[in-house]
Amino acid sequence: MSEQTPVLECKNLSISYYTRAGEIPAVVDFDVTVNPGESIGIVGESGCGKSTVAMAIMQHLGTNGAITGGEILFKGRDMTKMTDDELRHLRGSEIAMIYQEPFASLNPSMKCGEQLMEVPLYHEDITEKEARARARQILDDVQLPDPDRVMDAYPHQISGGQQQRVVIAMGLLSNPSLLLLDEPTTALDVTVEAGIIKLISGISKKFNTSQIYISHNLGLILETCDRVFVMYSGEVVEEGTIDSLFSWPRHPYTHGLFGCIPLPTADKHAAPLKPIRGQLPLPHERPAGCFFNPRCDHMVPGRCDQAHIPMERVTGSAKDHRVRCCRWEEIDPNAEALSGEQKPPSEIGETVLEVDHMQKYYEVHDRSLKAILSGQTTKHVKANQDLNFSARRGETVAIVGESGCGKSTFAKVLMGLETATAGAIRVGEVDLGALGVRDRTAKQISGLQMVFQNPFDTLNPSHTVGSQIGRVIKRLGGVEDDEKVRERVFELLDIVKLPRDFYYRRPRQLSGGQKQRVGIARAFAGNPEMVIADEPVSALDVSVAAAVTDLLTDIQREYQTTLLFISHDLSVVRYLSDAIVVMYLGWIMERGTTDQIFQPPYCPYTEALLSAVPIADPEVTKREIVLEGDLPSAMNPPKGCPFSTRCPKKIGDICDNEPPPQQEAAPGHVITCHIPLEELKKVEPVIHVPTAEERLHAQARDKTETTS
C-alpha cells in the first residue's frame, strides 16, 4: 500500500474563518492520507470542523474562510496553489462531493437529466448524445427504478431517497478518484438510509473510488469505512482502523462517545448511558492544552491544560492507531466501563391510557383537473388506522416509525388539537379522543404534557425561561401568587439541573441541550401523569442527547410518570422503553414489550427496521434486509397491507388487496401481517449480540492477526 501515491494528503492543515470577532480557527493541524480505494470516516459532533475539512479539500471555503497553514496534496499536487482553472478541472471530475440535503443541492428549475449531463459535457470531449447515454447509465448504476422518468423529472418530482441517488450519480459520473460525502443520509428515513448506505459502501469496490465519509453517527461510519478519524473542537483526537478504534478507543472523548450511544446490548436499568458532562467549547473559548480537558474525567491539572498535545502512536494496537492524549497509556477504558451505576427499574402500575380502535382521517381537497372531472375532489387521508394499545403508570411506551407513519397525528389527537374520527382514547374514565383541548378540564390538560423535538422551536424566543415555565404553573398548577410561582420555577430548574439564573435568560442565550432541559421542566411544571416526548433528543449532539435522555428517564422514574416516547431510532427505544408500538403509514404493524419486538416473530416491516439501525459495535452482527423503493405517500397508500409495496416477504395478491389481520403471537404481542404466525416464528433474530464467550474468542483472534 505504501508504494502507491496517495489520492489525497492533508499535511498540518489549518483553516480559519474571519468574522467580526476576529479570526476563528475552525480546524487545527489536520493530517490525513487517503489511499486509492480506501474509505476514510470523519466523525464528530456539530461544530467540530468536519464539514470545513471537506469544503477545504474542495477549495470552497466562501469569502470569510481561508486555509491558514499546511497543504492539501491531490495525487501529489498542492491544491492550495492551484489556479481557478486548474481547480475547476479537478472539481466534479477528479473530486466529487455529495451533500447533506439532496433537495437543496439540486437546481429546482433544471431537469435531473440535464444537471447530470453537465458533468461529462464540461469535463470531457463528448457529444450531447453520449453525455445523455452516460447519465442514463449511471442512474441505472445507482439502482434508481425507472431512470428514464428521472432523467426528465425536475428534482421536486422525485422522492428524497431518489434525489440523493441522483446526487450520488452526479458525483460518480466522471469516475472521480475521490468522493467526499457530507452526512449524505441525515435527511432521510431509516429504511431509505439503509439502501443509500448499501449503495455507498459498494461504490469503492465497484468504481475503486476513495471516499471521505463525514458523519456524526459512529454506526454509519462502521458500515461504510476502513479507517476513522474522530474530531473534537477542530482537531483530530484519535484515528485508527475501524477495528482498532471501535474495539480499543484510547481517547477519553472517543470512549465517552461510545458511552453515550445506546447499544442493543444496553438496558436503561442495568447499564445506563454515561453522558459526557458539559458541552462543546465555542472555537474562541477553547481551553489551553487538550481541548477536551474541561469535560474529561481523567484531566490532571498541570499536565492536560498546558501545552498543545501532539498525536501519538498507540503502541500495541494496529499501526495506524494514533491518539491525541498525554495520558492514554495510564487510562484503562474498560475498567471504567464497568463502573456505571445501576438504577432500579420503575414500578409499573395500573393502566392509565387505553387507545381503543382509534382512527383519524383527514379530508383533503384535491383540486386537480383530473379529480374535478372524475368528481372525486375529497379524499380521505387515513393518518391513523385502527390504533389499539395501552400504557400503564410509570411505563415507557415507545411509538416508532418513519415519516408519515402517523405518530405525530396520534400525538395531536391525544393532546386535543384534533379529535378522533372514530374509536376512543381513554384516560381514566374519560374519552379524550372526542375532546378538543378547549373542551378539556384544567386537570385533564395538566395531566398530559408534551416535550417537543426541535430545541430551536420549543421555547418562545421572545420570553424569558422563567416566564414561560411560570405561565404553565399559573395556568395548570393553579398557583396565583407570583412569589410562589417563582419559587416553583426555581425548583423545576433545579430538577432539570440548570442554574437558577437561567430564570432571566432568553432562549437564544441557551444551547440546544439546555433548551430541551427547559422544555422538560415546562412539561413537568403542571405535575403531569403522562408526558409525550416527540423525538426529544434527535436534534441534539450525541454527548448532549445522552444527558437529556437520562434526565428525562430519571424524572419519569421519580414521579412515576407514564412516558410516551415517539422516535424513529430503535437503539434509543430499545434502551429506554418497556413496550414498543411500531407504526407504518397510519397502521400499527407490531406491538409488544421491548423484548418481544426485538425477538422473532417479527412483522416483516419491524424486521427491516431493525436491520436498518446502524450499530456502532463491530462485534454485533445483523441480518441484512434492504428495502426497495421509498415510503409511499400517505395521500395515496397501498390498498391492502400498507407495507405491501416494499415487503420482501410478500406472499401474493392478498397482501396488495386485503388489509392484514392482527395476529396475537403472545399475550400483548400483536403482529399485523398476512403471513401465518408459524411462518413468522421461523426466522432468526435480526441482531446478533455475541455472548461474553464469543467476544473473548473474537478478541483472541484479532490479537493474533495484529501481531502476525
> Do the Cβ atoms of 497 and 505 come closer than 8 Å?
no
Q: Which of 281, 423, 592, 604 binds another protein (CB under 8 A)?
A: 281
Minimum distance, C-beta of residue 519 to another protein, in the bound complex (Å): 8
Q: For 284, phi and psi rounded to 5 degrees?
A: -90, 5
Interaction with another protein in 225-254: which residues (CB under 8 A)? none
Instruction: Single out the segment in contact with another protein by CB under 8 A; choices: 203-211, 327-335, 357-365, 468-476.
Output: 468-476
Which CB atom, from 163 or from 644, has the smaller least distance to another protein?
Answer: 163
Q: In Å, how far are 354, 421, 590, 643, 688 from 382, measured between CA atoms?
A: 20, 10, 18, 15, 36
> Do the Cβ atoms of 119 and 170 come closer than 8 Å?
yes
Minimum distance, C-beta of residue 420 to another protein, in the bound complex (Å): 16
Count of CB atoms situated within 10 Å of the CB of 500: 12
> Do the Cβ atoms of 249 and 238 come closer than 8 Å?
yes
Instruction: Single out the segment in contact with another protein by CB under 8 A; choices: 95-103, 213-221, 239-247, 250-258.
Output: 95-103
Would you report the helix, strand and coil content of the chain in percent, each value rounded to 5? 35, 20, 40
> Do the Cβ atoms of 380 and 361 come closer than 8 Å?
yes
Interaction with another protein in 34-73: which residues (CB under 8 A)? 58, 60, 63
Q: Which residue shows C-alpha cell 471537506?
A: 54
> Do the Cβ atoms of 598 and 679 come closer than 8 Å?
no
Quote the distance between the C-alpha of residue 82 and its chain's center.
Answer: 37
Q: Which of 71, 118, 336, 702 binds another protein (CB under 8 A)?
A: 118
Instruction: Single out the segment in contact with another protein by CB under 8 A; choices: 266-274, 331-339, 467-475, 674-682.
Output: 467-475
Beta strands in 347-420 (DSSP E): 351-365, 378-392, 396-400
Per-position x/- string for 544-573, each x denoting binding to another protein as judged by CB under 8 A, each - no binding: x--x--------------------------
Instruction: Single out the segment in contact with another protein by CB under 8 A; choices: 28-36, 231-239, 462-470, 603-611.
Output: 462-470
Interaction with another protein in 283-302: which residues (CB under 8 A)? 294
Minimum distance, C-beta of residue 611 to another protein, in the bound complex (Å): 31
Q: Does 636 bind another protein (CB under 8 A)?
A: no
Beta strands in 366-479 (DSSP E): 378-392, 396-400, 422-427, 430-431, 448-451
Instruction: Single out the segment in contact with another protein by CB under 8 A; choices: 92-100, 136-144, 220-228, 566-574.
Output: 92-100
Q: Does 104 bind another protein (CB under 8 A)?
A: yes
Q: For 434, phi and psi rounded to 5 degrees?
A: -95, -5
Q: Which of 416, 433, 592, 604 binds another protein (CB under 8 A)?
A: 416
Q: Which of 415, 430, 625, 626 binds another protein (CB under 8 A)?
A: 415
Q: Does 454 bind another protein (CB under 8 A)?
A: yes
Amino acid at 565: F
Q: Where are the alpha helices (DSSP H) in 102-233?
A: 102-105, 112-123, 128-141, 147-151, 160-172, 190-207, 218-224
Q: Which residue shows C-alpha cell 418530482?
A: 157
Indicate the SS3 state at residue 448. strand
Q: Which of 206, 463, 695, 697 binds another protein (CB under 8 A)?
A: 463
Minimum distance, C-beta of residue 673 to another protein, in the bound complex (Å): 34
Minimum distance, C-beta of residue 51 to another protein, in the bound complex (Å): 12
Interaction with another protein in 119-158: which residues (CB under 8 A)? 119, 122-123, 154, 156
Q: Does 83 bind another protein (CB under 8 A)?
A: no
Q: Which residues pair with 587 in a beta bridge?
A: 584
C-alpha cell at 418: 384534533
Interaction with another protein in 355-414: which residues (CB under 8 A)? 367-369, 372
Interaction with another protein in 488-507: which residues (CB under 8 A)? 490-491, 493-494, 496-501, 503-504
Q: Does 653 bind another protein (CB under 8 A)?
A: no
Which CB atom, from 510 or from 580, has the smaller least distance to another protein?
Answer: 510
All residues at 6 or more sequence positions from 71 whose CB lies less than 8 Å from its CB, including other chains: 9, 10, 11, 12, 13, 78, 79, 80
Minimum distance, C-beta of residue 698 to another protein, in the bound complex (Å): 35
Instruction: Single out the segment in contact with another protein by CB under 8 A; choices: 31-39, 206-214, 354-362, 443-451.
Output: 443-451
Q: Does 635 bind another protein (CB under 8 A)?
A: no
Beta strands in 366-513 (DSSP E): 378-392, 396-400, 422-427, 430-431, 448-451
Indicate the SS3 state at residue 613. coil
Which CB atom, from 2 or from 368, has the smaller least distance to another protein?
Answer: 368
